[in-house]
Structure 1
Amino acid sequence: MTADPLSDAVKPARRFLGWRIAGLAVITGAMTGPGQTIGVSVSIDPLIAELGLSRPQVSAAYLIGTLAGGAALLPVGSWIDRVGTRRAMRWIGAAFGLGLVVMAGVQGFVTLAIGFTLIRWLGQGALSLVSSLSITHWFERRRGRVFGVTSPTISGLMSLTPLMLGLAVAAYGVRVAWLLAAAAVWLVVIPIGHFGIVDRPSDVGQRPDGHKRPPSTARAGAGSARTPATRAQAITQPRFVLMACVIATASMVATGLNFHQISILTGAGLSPTQAAAMFVPQVTGMIAAGLAMGALADRLPARVLLAAAMLLLLCALAMVGRLEPGWQAFAYTVLLGAGGGAHFPLVPTVLPRWFGLANIGGIQGVSMLISVAASAAGPVTVALLAAGTGGYAAAAWWLAAIPLATGLGALWITEPA
């Protein structure tokens, strides 16, 4: 009989802290907004005006920053595994704030590319990663349901970022807006990391999911991999490669269509105002898909859910050539949000189940790098296909081959023995 690892541990905290950790992780996840495309977008026109750069130059700086920031993210996950989420969150929050300060002082193309690299690396990448990992250690059998709620909630809160930054830009200018964003990150993220986050349940005498007793071997095996894998072992397994294809496909296609969404919808007869309003049903679709996928992730094999995510994306692409004002545009944006966001709760739920928790930061960091790189390629891929085929409708049919192949491949994923 195996001894209970907590039998001689510290006295357990009175209440299960996992729910508090999840709530705080949602807040820190939302604070990545200034480093996300949705937050950066409101500063593009003011930066063009202040720096005297062209739109293609600013876009090129953003592409460089996104790719460089994604590459710099690779060692971050393993570092979080070593130092713990509490310490990592404090340092990442401090560094992200400094990156936003750098953005307030950019003077030209080179410094702009450096600033974009810092906020994409530390905001979109590192802070998002540590926010997710802070939840991962606290839940096992409920992990899918928890991420099914937290992932879309973060997205919903993050949608407030362009409004807040837009108001700051209008009132004080783009440089002061970046400084205010830095102050907000420091005032929110660093205290949460220091006072609110606990690395693991065992640190306070608790167990994942709030169990009072250690789960049976059979039940424990259902929630985590029996033998933890190293990052090198994990990323060479076919199941990881197939999931990575799903992540890359969803990131590239959804980002590409989102980047050109106003053009796509106005070309279908919607006014610019109507086209912009379609982001609301898109977020609704993403939230609904996240809730559903998270609830099912603890019950169904990953292959079924990953294939379903690709099917939703296929349905969205099939609607591009049939877009008209009315229900068609509404259905398209809902499907696009669902297809682009369905995998969000699946990745942090399934990877620990497959590969264990010992090196999960490094493994999940690779998946995030893949997502960032694919999203960077999305806008130019859609633009080139549309130019080469004569429009977005034909481009969508060419793009559809990618989620079709990826979805079929996902059906071959097997669960660990």
Structure 2
Amino acid sequence: MKLSPKSLYSNNKFNYGWMIVFVAALSYFFSAPGQTFFISGFIDIYVKELKWDRTIVSSLYSIATLFSGLFIFSVGQIADRIGTKITMIAVGILLGLVCIWNSFNFSLFSLFIGFAFSRFLGQGSMTLLPSLVLPKWFIKKRAMSFSIMSIGGVIASTLIPIINASLFKIISWREVWRIWGFLVWIIFVPITYFYLFNRPEEIGLLPDNEKRADEHLRSIKFSDKEEYFTPKEAMKTFAFWGMLYCQIILPLITTGLTFHLISIMESKNMTSGNAAMILSFFSMVSFPVTLISGKFMDGVKQHHVAAVISMIELAALLVLFFTDSLPMAIVFAVLHGTATGLQSINNGVVWSNYFGTLYLGSIRGISMVGNVISSAVGPLPFGILFMKFGNYNAVLLLMMVLPVIGFLIALFSKKPNAPKRYSVV
């Protein structure tokens, strides 16, 4: 089989939607330069080599993340207007430029700019955009498609910290940033240009590849026949705010834990090497959970999944609170990785399943603001309460309250009924 786009989507035996999933997974993988697991590898270098204060660097990172989060909704709006494909290509080009910028860090101001745009383009845009295109290609296997797409992020968070640590031993940190910038340009951008299509109707197909569309369907959006909410209508429902709260809990906790993981492990008489292993273990557990969960989540109600995720994360924090050995730390990693894996799928499908795809970019963009802001806030309570009490017990107890509230809210965040003026497909 030839690998040209036309030969793939014209082949009756091949569902071109899976090629869209591959491009989406690639976007998740190359979101790495804006992710905490990537940037955290540079923090000690900035502190030691450039002699910058750790507290200042941490504060700049949080402020930059917050700054980027306030504008991430605009990316969804742009994608709704000009299409996901063009938006993804533009974001890829800009992310490569930011990687090059980060290789020239020489001041705290340049560091802040690098943090802000890395988070906005990488952690924000490169994970938001693929989640907008998949629901237009899959309906019956929507959760499964998100499950496979998320593997791109799992692979990145598992392998890239190890890869970067190895690169630091043979080349400078500045060259590491440049390598990733060029990889985004020569791999992600061309593949997106040639193989991504905004919706199946553009190439004469229908969602789920059930049958070939007639020629006139190329100009008709399948989502025009869907039940859907406008952003204002979605924001008037309890389900929108309830599921949003359930989604922001884990990024807040995860970013705080990841950013301070070495210190947390050392406070429990473990080494930085143990912390690195636990960090990788998060992803090693998330990988099978992410892959398997998509097979059954299409038949499970989203608010039930959100409630289960909250309880698993509560259990993880309880284990971490009492951790005093590596085996207990591994149990914590298994639980936290399981919650992360389940959430990565639930986050993707809930907005399109609850509110349709016509305004998905705008609605998903609003939810991303909450996710990014929670990521920005995450490291702060860990740092502040550690300085006050000299350990992490207080902040862990505080974090436990969040999933308890999330569990209760999730139970009442059922799928809302669409406005009656819209007809069912």
Question: TM-score over 0.5 for the alignment?
Answer: yes
Letter in 1 for 2:227: T
C-alpha distance in 2, partners of 1:32/1:175? Answer: 18
Alignment correspondent of 1:44: 43
Whether the 8 Å contact between 2:252 and 2:376 is mirrored in structure 1 is yes
Q: What is the TM-score of this pair, normalised by structure 1? A: 0.88
Structure 1 pair 236–345 and aligned structure 2 pair: CA distance change class (3 A): same
Letter of the structure 2 residue corresponding to residue 370 of structure 1 = G
Whether the aligned pair in 2 keeps the contact of 1:13 and 1:205 (CA below 8 Å) is: no
Distance 2:381 2:372 in 1: 15
Q: Which residue of 2 aligns with 1:363?
A: 363
Cα distance change on mapping 1:176 and 1:262 into 2, 3 Å? closer
In 1, Cα distance between the equivalents of 2:320 and 2:241?
29
Partner of 2:320: 320
Identity %: 28
Letter of the 2:367 partner, please give it. Answer: S
Distance 1:106 1:269 in 2: 34
Give unmatched runs, 5+ long, in structure 2.
Answer: 1-8, 214-222, 418-425
Counterpart Cα distance in 2 of 1:344 and 1:231 = 22
Secondary structure in 2 aligned to 1:172? Answer: coil
Structure 1 residue 304: Cα displacement: 0.7
- Structure 1 pair 249/209, CA: closer, same or farther in 2 (3 Å)? same
Once residues 157 and 298 of structure 2 are traced to their aligned partners in structure 1, the CA distance between those partners, rounded to angstroms, is 26
**Cα deviation, residue 75, structure 1:** 0.5
Match of 2:423 in 1: none
**Separation of aligned partners in 2, 1:286 and 1:308:** 15
Matches within 5 A, 1:177-192: 177-192=176-191
Tell me what 2:311 maps to: 311
Contact kept? 1:386, 1:392, Cα under 8 Å: yes
What amino acid is the match of 1:31?
F
Deviation, structure 1 residue 47:
2.9
Measure the CA separation in 2 of the matches of 1:206 and 1:283. Answer: 35
Answer yes or no: is 1:209 the counterpart of 2:208: yes
Cα distance per residue 1:314-344 (max 9 Å; x no partner): 1011112321325322211111222234211
* Partner amino acid, structure 2, of 1:139: F
Q: 1:241-390 maps to which residues of 2 (within 5 A)?
A: 241-388=241-388
Distance 2:20 2:384 in 1: 43
Partner of residue 7, structure 1: none
CA distance in 2, matches of 1:192, 1:66: 28
Q: Aligned partners of 2:385, 2:52: CA distance in 1, in Å?
A: 27
Pair 1:148 & 2:128 matched: no
Q: Residue 160 of structure 1 aligns with which residue? A: 159
The answer on whether the counterparts of 2:309 and 2:342 sit within 8 Å (CA) in structure 1 is: yes
Deviation (angstroms), 1:402: 1.4
Deviation at 1:350, TM superposition (A): 1.4
Cα distance in 1 for partners of 2:175, 2:328 equals 41
- Would the aligned equivalents of 2:62 and 2:380 in 1 still touch at CA under 8 Å? no
53 and 273 in structure 1: CA distance in 2 versus 1, 3 angstrom threshold:
closer
- The normalised TM-score by structure 2 is 0.87
Residue in structure 2 matched with residue 220 of structure 1 by the alignment: none
CA–CA separation in structure 2 for the residues paired with 1:308 and 1:131: 25
1:128-172 alpha-carbon deviations (Å, 9 max, x no partner)? 212222322211110112212321442223432223333444433
Shift of 1:357: 0.8
2:110 corresponds to which letter in structure 1? T
**In structure 1, the residue corresponding to 2:343 is in which secondary structure?**
coil
- Residue by residue over 1:211-267, the C-alpha shift from the partner in whole angstroms, topping out at 9 and shown as x without a partner, is 1279xxxxxxxx999432222322332101001111111111222222222333333
Identify the residue that residue 393 of structure 2 maps to in structure 1.
393
Structure 1 residues 54 and 245, CA gap change in structure 2 (3 angstroms): same
Greater shift after overlay, 176-185 or 162-171?
162-171
Check whether the contact 1:36–1:123 (CA below 8 A) recurs between aligned residues.
Answer: yes
For residues 122 and 71 of structure 2, the distance between their equivalents in structure 1, rounded to whole angstroms, comes to 12
C-alpha contact (below 8 Å) 1:389/1:395 kept by paired residues: no
Residue aligned with 2:344, SS: coil
Gapped regions of structure 1 (runs ≥ 5): 1-9, 215-222
Instruction: Single out whichever of 350-359 and 262-271 deviates more from structure 2.
Output: 262-271
Is this contact kept in 1: 2:274–2:326, CA < 8 A? no
Alignment partner of 1:79 is 2:49: no
Say if 1:386 and 1:49 are closer, same or farther in 2 by CA, change over 3 A. Answer: closer
Q: CA deviation at 1:49?
A: 4.4
Q: CA deviation at 1:50?
A: 4.9
Asked if 2 retains the 8 angstrom alpha-carbon contact of 1:137 and 1:208, the reply is: yes
Q: How has the CA–CA distance of structure 1 residues 153 and 28 changed in structure 2, closer, same or farther, with 3 Å as cutoff?
A: closer
